[in-house]
Amino acid sequence: MSWHIFNGFSQNPKAIDTLEIHNQIKSFGINEKILDFKNHFFSDIVYKNDSTLYYNPNSTLYVFKISLGDNPRVFKISEELDWSHSYNRHLFLFNDVLYSYGGIGLFNAFPGLIYFDYPSKKWVKKKIKNYPFDVKKVLNSWIIGNKIMVLLNHFSEFETSKIDTQMQLSFGEIDLEKFEYTQTNSFKKTSPELLFKQYNLGFFRGNYIYDSDLYSLHGYIEEYGDFRYRILDKVLGSFKSTTKLDELSSVDGFSYVYIKDSRVYYRDHSGNIESFDVNSGESILSKEYYELYKPKTKNISPYYIVSILIIICLLIFYVIRIKKVNTLKNLPGTLAQEILIIENKLKDQKSNTISKEKLDELFGI
């Protein structure tokens, strides 16, 4: 099996001068509260290559092209200035096209796929064949090869529903070449069964995201400024944290964390690089998405099995009894009476051992 790099991943990321980039973006006169540059910049960028990235601020339709280097340059390549339903959306590149999948807005969610049309400088909705018409929200998604694996919510009030509410969910994949959806599973589960309750992560994609072909690294700002990383194995669908990942610090652009092949690399401010295998360290917690998104198997109670067997035995006994009665009814009266007499005599002897002589006597031989 071979994997092809479609998403323009950076294999050797250059230093990112976030201060200079931020200053250039502010020169476009954009509301700082909308950008939330400090908290979300590293989750709002995708790499075209080692020296070029695209920046789409959360909850906006702005798109910036950023050329990295000793003197980074920022180009605003979109026209839209309004808000969108793109908070916590899945931003990615496929065949050099910038896509945004899912997301939420002020009042509702957007469960569709849009792409950025470079000539018109606008976002355009992409039609997906066989996509469920009743989808309310995209809960989770990741790209592996040329497909997006997706968990869809068909219940409109995911966050506000009661904790024990069984929600209608489905899991499937979108082919990014045919733009066709194939459903794998349909099932019901409650929100606690799907979320990382220990860390209140839910389906939030992280304040820091770095994608590679086989892995996706997510960093989360927690209480008191703590920073924690989680890693998604896209092939196995395993999302976990490890003791090794917890040793990593937050990044600012000059320091950086990225993945190449199956190794995690950390670059400090001096340019020194340390690395370790993605499976290093002890697992602290994990979610196995493929297992989690399967329908629940119903366990059959042993009492239920015993009851069924008893009923079957009673039915067999009843059928045999009916056949016996019907057979006797069809015999001549004298013969039927003799058989009943012999049967009663045998019943009287059921607790005794019957000798051959006694058996001859009972049958009148």
> 134-152 pLDDT, tens per residue?
998 898 999 999 999 999 9
- Cβ(207)–Cβ(40) under 8 Å? yes
Q: State pTM to two decimals.
A: 0.76
Q: Is 129 helix (H, G, I), strand (E, B) or coil?
A: strand
Asked if the model's pLDDT at residue 13 lies above 80, the reply is: no
Instruction: Report residue 262 as tokens.
Output: 């199956």
Mean pLDDT of the 337-343 span: 58
- Of the candidates 208, 210, 249, the one whose C-alpha atom is nearest the C-alpha of residue 227 is 249
Q: Give the helix/strand (H/E) hosting 168.
A: strand 167-175
Provide DSSP, 41-56: GGGSEEEEETTEEEE-
Q: How many CB atoms lie within 10 A of CB 41?
A: 22
Distance from C-alpha of 272 to C-alpha of 282, rounded to nearest angstrom = 25
Asked if the model's pLDDT at residue 46 lies above 60, the reply is: yes
Asked if the model's pLDDT at residue 314 lies above 80, the reply is: no
CA 33 to chain centre: 31
Mean pLDDT of the 93-119 span: 91
- Cβ(220)–Cβ(201) under 8 Å? yes
- Of the candidates 198, 201, 216, 205, the one whose C-alpha atom is nearest the C-alpha of residue 278 is 216
Distance from C-alpha of 336 to C-alpha of 119, rounded to nearest angstrom = 99
Domain boundaries, the chain: 18-292, 302-363
Q: What is the pLDDT of residue 7?
A: 45
Residue 44 pLDDT level (bands cut at 50, 70, 90): very high
Q: How many CB atoms lie within 10 A of CB 168?
A: 14
Q: Is 194 helix (H, G, I), strand (E, B) or coil?
A: helix
- Cβ(104)–Cβ(88) under 8 Å? yes
Asked if the model's pLDDT at residue 91 lies above 60, the reply is: yes
Fold classified for 18-292: Neuraminidase (2.120.10)
